[in-house]
Amino acid sequence: MVVRRLTRSVRAGPVVIGGSAPVSIQSMTSTYTYDIDATVAQINQLARAGADIVRVAVPERRDTEALRHILPQVAVPIVADVHFHFERAMEAVEAGVHKIRLNPGNIQDRQEVDRVIRACRERRIPIRVGVNEGGIVERRDKQQRAAEKAELRRDYHGRLIDIMVRKLEEYLLIFDENDFDDVVISAKSIDPTIVIDAYSEISRRFDYPLHLGVTHAGPKETGCIRSVVALGTLLANGIGDTVRISYASDPVLEVEDAKEMLCCLGLRARNEPELIACPTCGRIEIDLIRLVREVRGRLAGIRVPVKVAVMGCVVNGPGEAEGADVAVFAGRGKGIIYVQGEQTRTVSEAEMLEALYEESLKFAQRVERGEASLTRGGVTIAPPDPLPRADGSVPLPVVA
């Protein structure tokens, strides 16, 4: 069980970040924010997928103007992502956003930063302060920039974390001087090992809630590994209050993977079926990979966390599927379906998808009616008789 490190808490609209609040999932729209309809549609899509908070970029005035029309049409808190122009932060605050993401290092004037902080303080809007790898090296002071670059050349990993912590101290002082502590911290890097070490160090030094992320993680296929290695390690050690997985892909995939990561760590209750499947091997006699893909899609409408196992044979399948509420063990062109350890049906390969769906749905409905409870690992599945004989006959009775 993960024991979470206790942080302060802030509130982005109805969502609490930090303290004892559940780890929240964030994502970011990929639309132009000024395209109101497209942005509203994507925010709502992300919310349906499980996002608790959604961030939008506001590079131009027309983006902050669009916020007034977007906010009434969405049900999740919105974060305005501000870079360089403090005016965009002020306009976003005026429009009613629930949180601001700001890097004090890329806003020219300290007084401008103070104005944003004051505006957020008046409305109790939290600010995420990022000391992310991409924007951490000094931009304005040429001498300091050269010194930091030289530091990084000596020991990139170690010095980068030092610079991140140093900048964070510098930024937090600004917030402190403005009597503002509704702060969330991020320290993202493209390198998962830096992410793990940077957040671990920051978590030792500060008790502000942490927004975890790997920046520029790449396409989903590799970005998923990169992100889950870093974020999963931190979360398993109790570090992290809100997460964003970022892919060069449809942001809905970010939310789906973040949700799965949190469910796997026991940090979020599952509210939909959990699918386990064997990896297949030389014993396989059906197209299990296709079946698994289809089962995943077919189960998507069920809103009960039924554990469903799709196993390729009766040799190891029953042992590995123990604890599944509904399981199918495939053989040559056939499958035996179990519901909580009881054999219910033997079906042909062509019928397997629908039969598994029907049994899963029936079981989920019984759970909803209080007539059955989820297994949660307590069921032993006795191996079925061998499937089918060489002459094609089926030794098990087919249950209609």
Task: Kindly tell me which of 205 and 293 has the beta carbon lying closer to ligand SF4.
Answer: 293
- Nearest partner of 171 among 204, 150, 202, 145, judged by Cα: 202
- Footprint of ligand SF4 on this chain (CB under 6 A)? 278-281, 283-284, 311-313, 315-317
Q: How far is the CB of 331 from ligand SF4 (least distance, A)?
A: 10
Task: Kindly tell me which of 89 and 379 has the beta carbon lying closer to ligand SF4.
Answer: 379
Q: How far is the CB of 280 from ligand SF4 (least distance, A)?
A: 5
Task: Kindly tell me which of 28 and 356 has the beta carbon lying closer to ligand SF4.
Answer: 356
The CA distance from 279 to 288, in Å, is: 9
Mapping DSSP to helix (H, G, I), strand (E, B) and coil, where does residue 65 land?
A: helix
The closest residue (CB) to ligand SF4 is: 312
Task: Kindly tell me which of 235 and 291 has the beta carbon lying closer to ligand SF4.
Answer: 291
φ, ψ dihedrals at 158, nearest 5°: -65, -45
Q: How far is the CB of 395 from ligand SF4 (least distance, A)?
A: 18
The CA distance from 75 to 53, in Å, is: 9
Q: How far is the CB of 381 from ligand SF4 (least distance, A)?
A: 12
Task: Kindly tell me which of 30 and 280 has the beta carbon lying closer to ligand SF4.
Answer: 280
Which residue type is seen at 167?
K
Q: How far is the CB of 151 from ligand SF4 (least distance, A)?
A: 50
Task: Kindly tell me which of 214 and 286 has the beta carbon lying closer to ligand SF4.
Answer: 286
The CA distance from 319 to 270, in Å, is: 23
CB atoms within 10 A of CB 302: 19
DSSP string over 79-128: EEE--S-HHHHHHHHHHT-SEEEE-GGGSS-HHHHHHHHHHHHHHT--EE
- CA-CA-CA-CA torsion sign (347, 353, 354, 358): positive
Q: How far is the CB of 321 from ligand SF4 (least distance, A)?
A: 8
